[in-house]
Structure 1
Amino acid sequence: MQIHLDAVGGMAGDMFVAALLDAFPEHAEGVSASVRAASRAGVACRVLPHNDGILQGSRFLVFGPGAPDPTPQAALAATHRHEHGDHDHDHHDHAHPDAHGPSHTHDHAGDHDHRPWSEIRASLERADLDAAVRGHALAIFGHLAEAEARVHGIPVERVAFHEVGAWDSIADIAAAAHLVAALGATRWSVGALPLGSGMVRTQHGLLPVPAPATALLLEGFATRDDGVPGERVTPTGAAILRHLCGGAEPAPTGPRRLGRSGVGFGTKRLPGLSNCVRALAFDETAPVASPEAHPDHRTIAVIAFEVDDQSGEDLAMGLDRLRMRDDVLDVVQMPVFGKKGRMMAHVRLLARADALDAVAAACFSETATIGLRHALVDGRALPRRAATVAVAGRDVRVKLAERPGGRTAKA
């Protein structure tokens, strides 16, 4: 299975999880178990349907110790309050060193409690998690810690995360890790990410968007500027993408069968745009029948142009020289009418796909055309070979073709 992500409104940990659970709701119970195992006592999660008036999808909600299990109505009210408050983006942490000693992280609530990355790592290692889930969770959190360490010029072991943000960040990452392990996709890809703009307010001042750690995590990813300001990709979302798509080769461009899709919403409302991530899951076990799968398939280059200012004799000699090229498969010529009823010669060449540039240059050299058209097309060719046979005492060169009904010969 291949999974492609479209960051329509942005990318955050909860949006990633919601999109995958919208596409694969059968994994909701497993995600809840992993969140409970990875987080401190009392942390739980819930997936709720959500409609922003444009699209239908899901929201992934994490609630801390002592918080009641949110009903859909309560979740909607909480979302409304959040969208009209002073938070500019989804929950996440920024690590930084301060003047009081070891580094710590801050969130937007003003709490100065913090948990060192080494403590979170040890907690995940002790947690009753499947080995694959634990491995993905540690890798994602590791990307976050390494980025924060680079931003502030400190060792990774000195990075710490705020207590307020730690439990929900761990829950998001544990949920994401569970889904990555459970789905077992062979390839992950993501479209261009919205860059965002402006500044994000934190307790210790303003930071540019994308946040410094996010910018490091997104190095090498394609981005776009859709004109919508604010923080569009959170550090947690960026760390998940770095883990899944950071070193991946470009997604294949051939036919694939779309198996499932899901939409996961974030908390903010964006002007004229759904704040969501869309997940597209392509099934590799049932591929679309592609031309490449046929034994007679070939990809060829087609070059076409018209000539109206070259003598017939000179054009014929030039086309003969083109036919003699090893990378040219065929050349045909036919009369056509051009502007004002003028007679022209229409020329079409078939060439090897890998020789398109060389054959195009030869067309300009051998004919008077000043422009041409070209395309790569799929085709089929029957197996054939040339042979010499004796007919009435004379050798005749024939072409043998293997047709579905048997072999045929043409002189």
Structure 2
Amino acid sequence: MRRIHLDAVGGIAGDMFVAALLDAFPELAGRVLADAAAVLPPGAGAPFLRQGLSGAVAAQRFGLEGARAHSHAHAHAHAQSGEHGDEPAHEHAHDDTAGTYRDMLARIARAPLSAGTGRHAAAILGLLAEAEAAIHRVPVEEVHFHEIADWDSLLDVVAAGSLAAALDGAVWTVSPLPLGGGLVKTQHGLLPVPAPATAALLAGFDWRDDGVTGERVTPTGAAILKHLARPGRPAGGRLVASGTGAGTRALPGMPNVLRALVFEEAGQAGDTVTVITFDLDDMTGEEIGTASECLRAQAGVLDVSLGQRLGKKGRPVASIRLLARPEQAEAVAQACFAQTSTIGLRLREERRLTLSRQADDKDGVPVKRVARPGGDTVKAESDALVGETLAERRALKQRAERGDD
């Protein structure tokens, strides 16, 4: 099992998360940069990853450069400011729909992204939008990310979604987060630090006060943590990689970095999941398909599967099964009630065994490498198999899964 611990030395923002993980997993850079570029409109610039320094520490920096690129902005609905509050708010002309939650979801859905990226990116963006909607008392669909005119926040969300998909199956933890202090400049004036959306997203997480003020955890960083991680110390294991991502702000007497420590436990490992099941006999196929996609995007959901059975009076029944993280099972259950017509759920906790797995690339095709007792196996990601005929797609699959020679 792979465990990834995020050490928030200087804090966490979207660009810091992406940079730290790409430093730890450089083989994923091609996938992540391609996904990030695919969601940007023409002329918005291009994503970059480059080596730099924060204090005296070498670290990667991730961001956007080009004609319309600016310093990283983070996602405050109806608000904007520089990364960690170190840049003034920018004014940009844009239409009434560009930058809305609905527009961003549509942009993610239209983009030719790697397998799983869209699902995770939509989930992160959804958490951010829900928090901002509650803070500003507006419907989620009307949440407007003003700083999207810079496109940095969408870049971070999609890049983080690409990493989450590529590292599917990992267990994420995060250290106590730096509290920061003072005020951050937004479109609505000054807001206290941590920003209201950040505080709402990270209720239940551990915090610390290291005496350094300013915005240390951005709403985008908070949404990524809410989607992936739980507070706590790393469970240990064999340290196999580490990565460091830098923020844009210079902190007094310390590096402004996020570290990713990657641990692996050889062979089988066990954990506990919550299994949620229910049946549907009064929804159309189209409605069930839409509900399934919404549930797959729900934070804490590991898998959604559908089956067909015969129910009472010989009626065809759609049988739904979800696997969820136990700590998020209650929220997932509420999502099931909201997205479907069911009036009852069955929940149970089950222990499972999983094999260590790693995302890789073979002949340009993303593959999943699994450590099995009899030797590693490699499986190509089916969504990445392209060709005009079945024979061509199968040939590409065989080349990608062929052992190294």
> Normalised by the shorter chain, which TM-score bucket?
0.5 to 0.7
2:276 corresponds to 1:284: no
Larger radius of gyration: 1
Partner of 1:150: 134
Partner of 1:120: 104
TM-score by length of 2: 0.60
CA distance in 1 between partners of 2:193 and 2:212 (Å): 12
TM-score by length of 1: 0.59
Q: Secondary structure at the match of 1:94?
A: coil
Kindly report which structure 2 residues correspond to 1:319-358, keeping only aligned pairs within 5 A, or say none. none
2:117 aligned to which of 117, 128, 133 = 133
**Retained in 1: the 8 A contact 2:174–2:232?**
no
Give a deviation string over 1:185-236, Cα, whole Å, max 9, x none: 4200000000110011224311100111111111110000000000000111
CA distance in 2 between partners of 1:231 and 1:13 (Å): 13
Q: Secondary structure at the match of 2:99?
A: strand
2:68 corresponds to 1:48: no
Q: Secondary structure at the match of 2:116?
A: helix
**Retained in 2: the 8 A contact 1:45–1:63?**
yes
2:18 corresponds to 1:4: no
CA distance in 1 between partners of 2:7 and 2:149 (Å): 26
CA distance in 2 between partners of 1:249 and 1:225 (Å): 16
Partner of 1:240: 224
1:225 aligned to which of 199, 209, 218 = 209
Partner of 2:74: 92
Q: 1:281 deviation in Å?
A: 0.5
Partner of 1:190: 174
Relative distance call for 1:287 and 1:58 in structure 2 (3 A) is farther
The AA in structure 2 aligned to 1:91 is A
Relative distance call for 1:55 and 1:174 in structure 2 (3 A) is same
CA distance in 2 between partners of 1:214 and 1:197 (Å): 13
Partner of 2:331: none
The AA in structure 1 aligned to 2:90 is A
**Retained in 1: the 8 A contact 2:73–2:80?**
no
CA RMSD for the aligned pairs?
2.3
CA distance in 1 between partners of 2:205 and 2:93 (Å): 33
Kindly report which structure 2 residues correspond to 1:294-333, keeping only aligned pairs within 5 A, or say none. none
2:92 corresponds to 1:111: yes
Relative distance call for 1:276 and 1:286 in structure 2 (3 A) is farther
CA distance in 2 between partners of 1:225 and 1:116 (Å): 34
Q: 1:25 deviation in Å?
A: 1.1
**Retained in 2: the 8 A contact 1:106–1:112?**
no
Relative distance call for 1:257 and 1:267 in structure 2 (3 A) is same
Unaligned runs of 5+ in 2: 82-88, 270-405
Relative distance call for 1:94 and 1:163 in structure 2 (3 A) is closer
Identity of aligned residues (%): 52
**Retained in 1: the 8 A contact 2:21–2:243?**
yes
Q: Secondary structure at the match of 2:253?
A: coil
Aligned length: 257
Give a deviation string over 1:260-283, Cα, whole Å, max 9, x none: 001100000000111000000011
CA distance in 2 between partners of 1:63 and 1:134 (Å): 23
The AA in structure 2 aligned to 1:32 is L
1:273 aligned to which of 246, 254, 259 = 254
After superposing on structure 2, the runs of 4+ consecutive aligned residues of structure 1 that deviate more than 3 Å are 64-67, 163-166, 248-253
CA distance in 1 between partners of 2:36 and 2:261 (Å): 24
CA distance in 2 between partners of 1:238 and 1:211 (Å): 10
**Retained in 2: the 8 A contact 1:34–1:174?**
yes
Give a deviation string over 1:53-81, Cα, whole Å, max 9, x none: 421121112124566xxxxxxxxxx9xxx
Relative distance call for 1:273 and 1:150 in structure 2 (3 A) is same
Point out the more displaced range, 41-50 or 1-10. Answer: 41-50
Unaligned runs of 5+ in 1: 68-77, 83-89, 97-104, 289-411
Relative distance call for 1:112 and 1:66 in structure 2 (3 A) is closer
The AA in structure 2 aligned to 1:3 is I
Relative distance call for 1:271 and 1:249 in structure 2 (3 A) is closer
CA distance in 2 between partners of 1:53 and 1:216 (Å): 31
Relative distance call for 1:137 and 1:65 in structure 2 (3 A) is farther
Kindly report which structure 2 residues correspond to 1:3-82, keeping only aligned pairs within 5 A, or say none. 3-42=4-43, 43-65=45-67
The AA in structure 2 aligned to 1:273 is M
Partner of 1:376: none
Relative distance call for 1:52 and 1:161 in structure 2 (3 A) is closer
Give a deviation string over 1:89-141, Cα, whole Å, max 9, x none: x5113214xxxxxxxx4441123635211111111111111341000000000
1:263 aligned to which of 244, 248, 255 = 244
2:159 aligned to which of 151, 165, 175 = 175
